[in-house]
Amino acid sequence: MNIELIIKLKEGGNFETIFPASLTENSLPIKIERLNDIPVTNALLSKNLNEMTFLDNEERENFLQNEVLSKLEESEKSLYRIFKIQVPIGADAGELKKTLEANPVVEYVQINAKNDLMDFPVEEPLYSQLYGLKKMQCPDAWQSSTGENIVVAVVDTGVDYNHPDIRDNMWKDINGHFGYNFSEDNTDPMDYHSHGTHVAGTIAASMNQLGVVGVAFNAKIMALKAFPRANDSDFHRAIKFAADNGAKVINNSWGPTGHRPSNPVVEDAIDYAVSKGICVVFAAGNSDEDVMHFSPANYPKVISVSATDENDQKAGFSNYGNLVTVAAPGKNILSCKFKSNEFAIKSGTSMAAPHVSGLAALILSKFPGITITQLIKKLKENVDIISSSVPIGPGRVNAFKAIS
């Protein structure tokens, strides 16, 4: 299987001098593509692109560099210096990575690695009550806010947009699409696994007397499918899509397959989203370890969520540490089951994160002018204090206190 590298060039850098002679001398094909399309609009062009004649793709690229990129905000320019490289067959990916990292025009290089869902197998019998919403005092919070006018992007396995408890709360674009499928590069983000549907139900299942109800039951769900391919580049593009298409909260119930303290290409996308005032939520992870080892959940600009159980104790699987922002219910959580009219129990920090994403939607709906810094302060200062032998944030979130 071909290995891909993600490379970010420094401002003004180009590819002419960064590849080792061993590759170019052997004429090994190097496939390079920009991770994000340059936004070519009339407002950014001094000429009509369709009326121009280009000798080759390089000339067109140079024109776009000069005409478009120079007019963008710095946070946007940064993302358009990121490229994906397919390592030629026969080349040593590790050595190529080291060579590229040593080049002064390269900002970073990383393997386009896989990521995992942050759920945890459940063996207990099905619970019939949504204890998490009760502990968070959601019914009291709903007197003030139910998430109106807030779009929450769910970057996951897709969402079953036909489930009767979520279909009325699906976001749609002008063409009627419910989001995007970055794993297969098409416009159908239908769930293939059930994880994303479960997450979406916790955030915004409808108040329709059919089954469960979400924390923000009048919010809208944007379905962004990144699994099963689950490469870093897919998550980067999904987060950017959410930021560019009206999401106010982005839920990420996934993380690295093992220890990975840094993930620059995803962190770049997070920077971009946060620069637009968007709240980015991550599951802390399920290794019962310090979250400092797991990016992007350890990234200071995200809301990192650990999991608690029915007794307000740290769930045994949950990651912890000083980089955790808050805790939320994450063990034995009842929510929507994909490809059915039914419901299922799941556990994991995957299930804790959507409780916080839903709460963020409640806060943003009631206080539309609030900054992300102020929102995080509200979350952290309005928790229920719980005991834990390891740090899991200041406490377990309380929706009523945070919205009051």
Q: Please list the pLDDT of the chain residue by residue as tens digits (404 residues).
A: 578 999 999 987 777 777 766 665 555 667 888 898 877 666 666 666 666 665 566 677 677 767 777 778 888 889 988 999 888 777 788 888 998 999 999 999 999 999 999 876 544 333 357 899 999 999 899 999 999 999 999 999 999 999 999 999 999 999 999 999 999 999 999 999 999 999 999 999 998 878 899 999 999 999 999 999 999 999 999 999 999 999 999 999 999 989 999 999 999 999 999 999 999 999 999 999 999 999 999 999 999 999 999 999 999 999 999 999 999 999 999 999 999 888 999 999 999 999 999 999 999 999 999 999 999 999 999 999 998 999 999 999 999 999 98
In 3-state terms the chain splits into helix, strand, coil percentages (rounded to 5) of: 30, 20, 50
Q: Report the amino acid identity of residue 311.
A: N
The pLDDT assigned to 91 comes to: 78
CB 358 within 8 A of CB 202: yes
CA–chain centroid gap for 113, Å, is 15
pTM of the prediction? Answer: 0.90
The pLDDT assigned to 311 comes to: 96
Residue 57 has phi, psi (to 5 degrees) of: -65, -30
Task: Count the Cβ atoms, other than its own, within 10 Å of residue 342.
Answer: 12
Q: How far apart are CA 194 and CA 19, in angstroms?
A: 42
Give the largest CA-CA distance in the chain. 69
Counted residue by residue, the chain has a size of 404
State the DSSP code for 271: H
CB 93 within 8 A of CB 111: yes
Task: Count the Cβ atoms, other than its own, within 10 Å of residue 83.
Answer: 17
CB 6 within 8 A of CB 110: yes
CA–chain centroid gap for 72, Å, is 23
- Calculate the CA dihedral of residues 198, 200, 203, 204 and round it to 10 degrees: -120
Helix (H) or strand (E) holding 303: strand 303-308
The pLDDT assigned to 126 comes to: 39
- Could you give the C-alpha distances from 340 to 99, 154, 191, in angstroms and in order? 51, 19, 12
CB 88 within 8 A of CB 5: no
The pLDDT assigned to 92 comes to: 83
- Could you give the C-alpha distances from 115 to 36, 147, 157, 226, 387, in angstroms and in order? 20, 30, 12, 10, 31
- Among candidate residues 251, 204, 217, the one with its CA nearest the CA of residue 145: 217
Q: How far apart are CA 306 and CA 253, in angstroms?
A: 11
The pLDDT assigned to 43 comes to: 62
Which residues, listed in sequence order, are joined to residue 251 by a DSSP beta bridge? 154, 281
- Among candidate residues 366, 395, 368, the one with its CA nearest the CA of residue 379: 395
| CB-neighbour burial class of residue 144 (10 A; exposed 0-12, middle 13-18, buried 19+) | middle
- Calculate the CA dihedral of residues 253, 256, 258, 263 and round it to 10 degrees: -140
| CB-neighbour burial class of residue 94 (10 A; exposed 0-12, middle 13-18, buried 19+) | exposed
Degrees, nearest 5: CA angle 342-345-348: 140
Q: Report the amino acid identity of residue 162.
A: N
List, by residue number, the catalytic residues: 156, 195, 350
- Give exposure, 202-216, as e/b (b: 16+ Cβ within 10 Å): bbbbbbeeebbbbbb
Among all chains, which residue has been given the structure tokens 């129990």? 345
CB 233 within 8 A of CB 4: yes
